[in-house]
Structures are given as C-alpha cells and as structure tokens.
Structure 1
C-alpha cells in the first residue's frame, strides 16, 4: 500500500500522520502485522485503515513495535507506554506517551455539513451544551464536529480503565475556544467523579479536525 508519513506537533506531542492510497492496498500487505490472521474476515476498507493506523503507531513508538488487537478491538500498547490511534478517510494518526497509566486519546473527523450537524446534534449534545457551541462564534457544524471528536478522544483515553462503551451523554462540553475544548463528566467513571474536567487540544487540517487528550497520572483531578 502506498503511504506518506509526516509528523506535526499538537499540545507538545509529536503526532504521526500516515496518508494512504486504499486503491493500492493488497491483502499481502497485512503480513507485516503479527496479528494479520485476526483481520482475515474484515472488509478491504477496514484492513487498509487498520494497516495505516498500525504503521502510524510503529512510527510513534520509534522501535517499530506493532500494537496487537485487544478483545474489544483496542490497540494493546507495550509495557510502559500509553497511546492512541485514529483514522479518517485516507489518513491515520497515532500519538504515544512513555507513561504506563497516562490518559491519551486522539481522534480525527471530517467536518460535518451544517445540515448534517443540525440533523444529528441531539445524539451528540444536550440542551446545556448547545448554547456553549453557539456562543463560540464558530460555525455550528465545526463546533459540533469538535465536540463529537473530543468525546471520542476522551472515551479512547478512558477505555483502558473503563473497559466498556461510553455514550456521548457521559461527558459535556463546557468550554470551547480557538485551541482547546473542555469536557466534564456527567457521572462517575473509572474513579473520576462527576464533574471531573478534561482539557483537550484541537487543530484543523483542511476539511478535518483533530482532537487530543493527554493527561499524566501525576496530574490531579480538576472540576468545572
């Protein structure tokens, strides 16, 4: 599969970005993955995305270690490392930190159209969040896409501790500005109490947005 690897910095982290051409993917490309047999029944699109994500992760780990697949499809990172992978369209990204129990989650999303944002907003935000998004001065579709992405990043970061699905109503956006977004838990999750706040950084790349949550185990809890 033809790929291009680049890096950029977000919130002090090096993000590894792999752009790939899915039309050049061949099943033989998966043989590079130690766990390739686990993807034998996946569709072509899923296989190409998974491969690109693992290539990004290998670059992020620097030693070419390839994260395996966990029981819920999550990446299994080496001892002493926390990381996250995302893919959207024809690109995949990975970010890691050399702390075993750090919270880290990355997500990339294509910005919604205004019509689509209005149609699906009730599944992503509640009545308390909508005024926050409208007060930013940003197009509503951009603000909603950022909120969707940020919640995905939060869920990815918490999953190693939660080990279960979290709905979009598990966290609420309380602040959104030009560089960051703050989410507050609406219930206690994995030892984090209701109201615990998480600050995520975001960046726009063309018609997509990237959100990143990175929190050291040494950071104390904060509340909104």
Structure 2
C-alpha cells in the first residue's frame, strides 16, 4: 500500500513504552549501552501505541527529531546520505525509537536497515514496525514467539486529500464510513481507514512477502471498541497449511494523531 507524504520536525522527549512484566518470551532484560544511546526510564502512556498493542510488545515514540551530535550507526547513515535533511532526520529518529523499543526487550542496539521493499530488517527472533508522520516518530517490537507479525501506523488527524478516498476504500466501505460520519462527525474516518490499511500491509508483508493493495483488504471499523476487523481478498498460507485471510486491529485518536495497530498472533 502506498504511504502518505510525511514531513516536519517534531519537538519533545523520546519516550519508551515498555510491556508490563510478564507475558513475553525471550532473553532476560538487559539494558546494553552503546553509542546509539540507552533507553530513558519507562513512562506509561495510555494514549500511545502501548494502549493498542499486547503486553508482549514494546513501543517507543518521540515528538522531536534526533539532534545533531547524537550518534547514529554508519550503515544507516549511508542509506540516506544523498537524501534531503528532513528525510535524514526522520530516518535517524525512527530508528532511534526502534533501538529504544528493542532495549525494552533486552536486545542490544543494532542498525535497523531497510530491506528490498523498504521494510525494516529486525534482529533474528524479533518482529516489529515503524511509523513517522509530521511531528511524530514511533516503533514497536516483540519477540516472534509472542507475536507472528505486527504493523503500526500514525497519521495526522485530518481528512484525506479530496478525491483520495476511492483509491483507499471500496464502495461498501465508503457506505459504512458515511454512517460513521453521521454518528461521530468529529473523527476523520477516511484517514483512520487509510492508517488501518497501512498497518495491515506492514503486518502482511513480512509474512507473505507480496504486495497488498488498499482494495485487497476490506475494513469494518468499530467506533465503540476502537477496533477494526479486516477481510483479506488475497491470502497467505502459513507453513502448517492455515490461511491468513483476516486480521484485526485497534485504533485511537489522541494528540491530534491517528494511531492504528495490527497484530497477527502466533500459530
């Protein structure tokens, strides 16, 4: 699924959103120090991605970009050496979020390089997702034994550009959105739909390694539970023969942001 145009320079501290004790598997927690920085003290945030993810996941977010003078991995810097400065800032900062989240799992800091489809390449045994939009960067990770795959996305809480909705939602989805607007007009449901499908793709691709378009997934949003169900029109067969033909996720609107998250549970 295509991503939105994102820019801006956030301000504010980088915050770690750790999983509560218990409910995750993997190496014992160890706070490894390196030139990539050490995690700050955990701070609970019920409006961040921690509220949308299971206890086994750890997320980190920031409203400011990585400052000059803060060390980065040279392998990552090489990827964006020719990019404009705004792109270099968001690239560096979202990976700093990723390392803070990995630290919450007890994983030492490592470069997080993009793969062939720009997907983040995580350390062995770890799954995760990253997102950035104007004024905000975040990452979430979990051990593969706890979560098969996950996807997160953040978007500004504003309407999609005029004429974009048909590219994102089918006719039946658009009808459901009309009903949601009639009930809760203060929510930009078109952008929630866009963000949710971005999260779906980020959870889908590491498993299927295939493209999934906006119209390859149909979304049903629940405004009361702040959740959504997804029917996939393209399927993926797991190693045990089971089909991945649906997903579920959660969404929230806070801090003038839409956050969405999708988690595929283990087999």
TM-score bucket (shorter structure): 0.7 to 0.9
Aligned to 2:81: 40
Deviation sequence 1:85-112 (CA, Å, 0-9, x none): 0001121111111116711000001123
CA–CA distance in structure 2, aligned partners of residues 60 and 89 of structure 1: 21
Q: Secondary structure at the match of 1:109?
A: strand
Higher strand share: 1
CA–CA distance in structure 1, aligned partners of residues 254 and 202 of structure 2: 21
Q: Do structure 1's residue 132 and structure 2's residue 176 form an aligned pair?
A: yes
Residues 98-107 or 2-11, more deviating? 2-11
- Equivalent runs, 1:121-160 vs 2, <5 Å: 121-136=165-180, 137-139=183-185, 142-160=188-206
Shift of residue 141, structure 1, vs aligned partner: 6.0
Shift of residue 204, structure 1, vs aligned partner: 1.4
Aligned to 2:262: 213
Q: Secondary structure at the match of 2:164?
A: helix
Shift of residue 32, structure 1, vs aligned partner: 3.3
Q: How many residues align?
A: 212
Aligned to 2:120: 75
Structure 2 gap segments, 5+ residues each: 1-8, 18-44
Aligned CA-pair RMSD: 2.6
TM-score by length of 1: 0.83
Deviation sequence 1:114-142 (CA, Å, 0-9, x none): xx455211111011101222223223861
Residues 102-111 or 9-18, more deviating? 9-18
CA–CA distance in structure 1, aligned partners of residues 192 and 265 of structure 2: 23
Give the counterpart of 2:250 among 172, 197, 201.
201
1:108/1:210 contact within 8 Å kept:
yes
Give the counterpart of 2:215 among 169, 180, 186.
169
- Equivalent runs, 1:30-109 vs 2, <5 Å: 31-62=72-103, 63-99=108-144, 102-109=148-155
CA–CA distance in structure 1, aligned partners of residues 95 and 12 of structure 2: 12
Higher helix share: 1
Shift of residue 67, structure 1, vs aligned partner: 1.7
Q: Secondary structure at the match of 1:119?
A: coil
2:58/2:142 contact within 8 Å kept:
no
1:117/1:144 contact within 8 Å kept:
no
CA–CA distance in structure 1, aligned partners of residues 237 and 191 of structure 2: 26
Structure 1 gap segments, 5+ residues each: 219-224
2:153/2:261 contact within 8 Å kept:
yes
Which gives a bigger RCO, structure 1 or 2 (Cα 8 Å, sep 6+)? 2
Aligned to 2:14: 5
Aligned to 2:157: 111
2:149/2:207 contact within 8 Å kept:
no
CA–CA distance in structure 1, aligned partners of residues 246 and 162 of structure 2: 26
